[in-house]
Amino acid sequence: MTTQIETERSSEESQGMGAVSVAELADPGWAWAAYEPTARRPWNLAGAAHLYRRAGFGADWAQLRQALAEGPQRTVDKLLRPPIDVAAFDRGYEASEKTAAGSVEGLRAWWLRRMIETPHPLLEKMTLFWHSYFAVNAGAVNNPRLMQEHLELLRNHALGSFRSLLQAISRDPAVLLGLGADRNRKAAPNDSFARPLLKVFTVGPRHCTTEDIREAARACTGQAVLRGQLRHLPQEHDDTVKHLLGRTGNFTADDVVRIVLEQPATAATVVRRLYRWLVSETEEPGDSLIAPLADSLARDYDIAKLAETMLRSNLFFSPRSYRQRIKCPIELAVGIVRALEGMVSATQLAQDAAGLGQDLCRPPTVQGWAGGLYWINTATVVKRHNLAGSLLHRGKPYESKLDPWAVAEKHGHPTPDAAARFLFDLFLQGDVAPDARDALLANAGAPADDSNGGPAAALRRLAHVVMTLPEYQLA
């Protein structure tokens, strides 16, 4: 399976984006300019689905058709700023959020349900991005309420200011507890927060020294988490001079955040991480490609503007980006449910996603989930296939809540043959050649076959086959 996926990721012949020259891809000015459809690079179903996979968790058929009609830039507008009342949706979730915060399992299920139902998928997708960026494990926090507040913090800042987000992170009890930085005394400076702050969250290991980390830890002395709240203990703060990243002064924790944000390497770190999330994870972007975005981000740290530039860009709508990420388990699971316009047990879905390697609220290390081929091995490939089968199965654990036949009929495809072709458009957007598609139809059992449950059952079997293809594992 891994070999198949790597082959798919390296091939541009079957991808839904139009041809792009090497010279264009090497030009940052062209790469980050807004994509405009042309005869050579048309706006099509593949492009619409690509946008929804990256800026959300995939689309249902109505969303794809609307995107086709409205074009790429209008669709990006709506993903960034949904025309419906998101605040009303949030209010509807507030009461259930308080109940969910009683346990980590409840919180995981609550968040998954929100991802499935949200009218603002980009906000949830970016919240998931920051959940891996500032990786906090609920086991180390040992307080579901603090974990819930941490996720709220990420969502509130997900498309806001990275400056404000980093300031909030530096004061978040869940972060400090999760990193083992909940006590930092003058007599014994604790670098458990300073180390990831510099090496992972901001400037990166090539731009800081052990001395910088030690001095940042000294600046953060006097902070403590007591009874779930951050306290500042003046008597425990080291108020002597520190030397940090070329600066000298009697620095505090707030000064540390200010100083790291002034470093050009911090903006570059954020851009590179978001590039992997929204554009491509198959190759590391060169410094010249990243530079315009990093320079722009460093001026105002506007996350939404950075995401918007990426999502509107020529590079995003090119073979260099198309299906150049492996879906993480959450993307895979939520995408199936959203495409088939249903709702399933979010508790079970969270458990199954954890079995695939992505346990919400429990990232494996301070660096979050590695992504890429980390998601694919012999065991997880089988589990991915089993999850797709379980979601479509008429019995437990998902109780037949997803019905491909009903969705096909709803969208005007009431015959077995039309419904089968609809499934290929919904899930793969023409990324399987006609002869391969016909072979899959034959191998899955004729859609009109009434000998084993009728056409609806045959369509479920075909849907399962489609969801196990290498192409479908790619975002």
Tokens of 430: 């023409």
pLDDT band, residue 392 (cuts 50/70/90) = very high
Distance CA 322, CA 314 (A): 11
Between 465 and 1, residue with greater pLDDT: 465
Distance CA 137, CA 124 (A): 19
Average pLDDT in the 154-178 region?
A: 98
Distance CA 118, CA 339 (A): 13
Q: How far is CA 75 from CA 48, 64, 70, 159, in A?
A: 8, 10, 6, 17
Query: Residue 231 above 70 pLDDT?
Result: yes
Average pLDDT in the 397-415 region?
A: 94
Query: Residue 408 above 70 pLDDT?
Result: yes
Distance CA 381, CA 394 (A): 22
Contacts 24+ apart (CB under 8 A), 232-238: 235/186, 236/184, 236/185, 236/186, 237/186, 238/186, 238/189
- Per-residue confidence (pLDDT) for residue 452, from 0 to 100: 63
**Residue 383 backbone zone (phi > 0: left; psi -120 to 50: alpha; other: beta):** alpha
Average pLDDT in the 453-465 region?
A: 90
pLDDT digits (tens, 9 = 90+) for 311-364: 999 999 999 999 999 999 999 999 999 999 999 999 999 999 999 999 999 999
Which residues have CB under 8 Å from 460's CB, separation 6+? 392, 393, 394, 404, 405, 453
Between 85 and 209, residue with greater pLDDT: 209
Select from 453, 457, 425, 420 the least CA-distant residue to 439: 420
pLDDT band, residue 16 (cuts 50/70/90) = low
Query: Residue 167 above 80 pLDDT?
Result: yes
* Cα within 13 Å of Cα(51), Cβ side: 30
Task: Name the amino acid, one letter, at 169.
Answer: I
Average pLDDT in the 426-431 region?
A: 94
Residues 59-96: b if buried by 16+ CB within 10 A, e if exposed? bbbebbeebbeebbeebbebbbebeeeeeeebeebeee
| Cα dihedral sign, 151-153-156-158 | negative
pLDDT digits (tens, 9 = 90+) for 130-157: 999 999 999 999 999 999 999 999 999 9
pLDDT band, residue 286 (cuts 50/70/90) = very high
Instruction: Say whether pTM exceeds 0.85.
Output: yes
pLDDT band, residue 197 (cuts 50/70/90) = very high
- Per-residue confidence (pLDDT) for residue 78, from 0 to 100: 97
Distance CA 181, CA 191 (A): 7
Tokens of 354: 């954890």
